[in-house]
Amino acid sequence: MALQPERHVLVVFPHPDDEAFGVSGTISTYVNQGTPVTYACLTLGEMGRNLGNPPFATRETLPLVRKKELIASCEAMGVTDLRMMGLRDKTVEFEDDEKMVQMMTDLIDELNPSLIITFYPNYAVHPDHEATARAVVRAVRRMPVEQRPKLHAVAFANNTGEGLGEPDIVNNIRDVREQKLGSMRAHISQTAWMLEENEKRLEAGEPEAENWLTYERFFSYRWHEDFEEQF
Amino acid sequence: MEIVQIEKLQQLLNSFANKDVYIHLETTNGAYASHFNEKVFNAGAFIRNVKLQYELGKVTADVPHRVGLKMAHGWVYAQGITHYEIDEQNRLLMAGHDYDGKLAVALEISETPFTY
Ligand SMILES: [Zn+2]
């Protein structure tokens, strides 16, 4: 499936692997279409809990493991502009809020994206996801309405259906499923159990198991229902 | 990392006593705990690169182990420790990994600061 042409796509997530499950197919599709894609990843997932038993990494070596995985995932998707922003996992919400907005504003000013992909505020579960989403929305809100890039947001909180209904953007990514699997496999320290589960479900013929290799879903940010009055 | 051997770990704890050391201590049940199960009360704590001196460090025999550091005016302890190692920077890394291979607790001691 060809996606609507974009000038530049900016993807902003806090953790290596945030892109893998829900967005890597969409990213790959844009790359394959020749759209410039920048992936800004705020942390190296330093606080990840999947260390194995017996452990394959320590709290101190995990960031290096995950940095390599992030680079490998970008190679699988074909992303050549990866920005590692140097924050620490699980601390994003405690950073100065204005500094976070400025980080996003700087990226937007430099790259002039026509589309930004990030999380949906209040529906993103992890505190780092929420803090990232807030910063992106605030940075875009400061722009004149007619200059704002589109905002496609990932929502997966348990109450997403009640709050947001059905996603309005559904990308068919079947053609790039090998690239998506490549991204998932690149993050093997985090995705091993999920890939294993999925193998079983595929073998059992469960249609759900095919689903994430076929569709990726986003919500256009609803400025008329902004998550806050002002910042 | 290796499974805790009490005598060896005790020796290592002794070797850092009465020195300025940097501590990393964390307990966690994961940021997603109450997403996957809304009945889970999610709690945890994290400190990194706090400098202190302890006069006595002790690992207990129970498995998983408890490790306590007695300071002049207070205490540090961790419970659930299963593994340890001295890494190439001579830091004592201790961690507790649960039955699913997820980190549940970490206590680390170093004479030089840990990274950011
Ligand atoms: Zn994440």
Q: Of A130, A61, A47, A57, which is closest to residue A89 (Cα–Cα)?
A: A47
The per-residue pLDDT string of chain A (231 residues; one tens digit each, 9 = 90 and over) reads: 799 999 999 999 999 999 999 999 999 999 999 999 999 999 999 999 999 889 999 999 999 999 999 999 999 999 999 999 999 999 999 999 999 999 999 999 999 999 999 999 999 999 999 999 999 999 999 999 999 999 999 999 999 999 999 999 999 999 999 999 999 999 999 988 888 888 888 888 887 778 889 999 999 999 999 999 999
What's domain A9-223's architecture?
A: 3-Layer(aba) Sandwich (3.40)
Q: Which two tokens stand for residue B26?
A: 């964390």
Contacts with B35 from chain A: Cβ below 8 Å = 125, 157-158
Q: Alpha-carbon distance A220 to A230, whole Å?
A: 19
**Alpha carbon of B53 to ligand 1 centroid (Å):** 36
Q: Check CB contact under 8 Å for B103 and A59.
A: yes
Contacts with B101 from chain A: Cβ below 8 Å = 50-53, 55
- Residues 6 or more apart whose CB falls under 8 angstroms from that of A109 comprise none
Contacts with A52 from chain B: Cβ below 8 Å = 97, 101
Among A59, A127, A128, beta carbon nearest to B93: A59
Whether the Cβ atoms of residue A22 and residue A156 lie closer than 8 Å to each other: yes
Three-state secondary-structure class, residue B80? strand
Q: Which two tokens stand for residue A43?
A: 């942390």
Q: Alpha-carbon distance B14 to B91, whole Å?
A: 13
Q: Check CB contact under 8 Å for A50 and B28.
A: no
- Helices A24-32 and A177-186 cross at an angle (nearest 10°) of 130
The domains located in chain B, with CATH, are: 2-27+46-104 (2.70.180.10)
DSSP A97-125: HHHHHHHHHHHHHHH--SEEEEEPTTS--
Its ipTM equals: 0.89
Among B38, B103, B108, beta carbon nearest to A49: B103
Contacts with B106 from chain A: Cβ below 8 Å = 59
Three-state secondary-structure class, residue B111? coil
What is the tens place of the pLDDT at every residue in B36-94?
A: 888 888 899 999 999 999 999 999 999 999 999 999 999 999 999 999 999 999 999 99
Confidence (pTM): 0.93
The residue extents of the domains of chain A are 9-223
What is the torsional sign of CA A135, A137, A138, A139? positive
> Which element (helix H / strand E) includes A188?
helix A188-203
What is the tens place of the pLDDT at every residue in A53-71?
A: 899 999 999 999 999 999 9
How close B77 gets to chain A, by Cα (Å)?
18
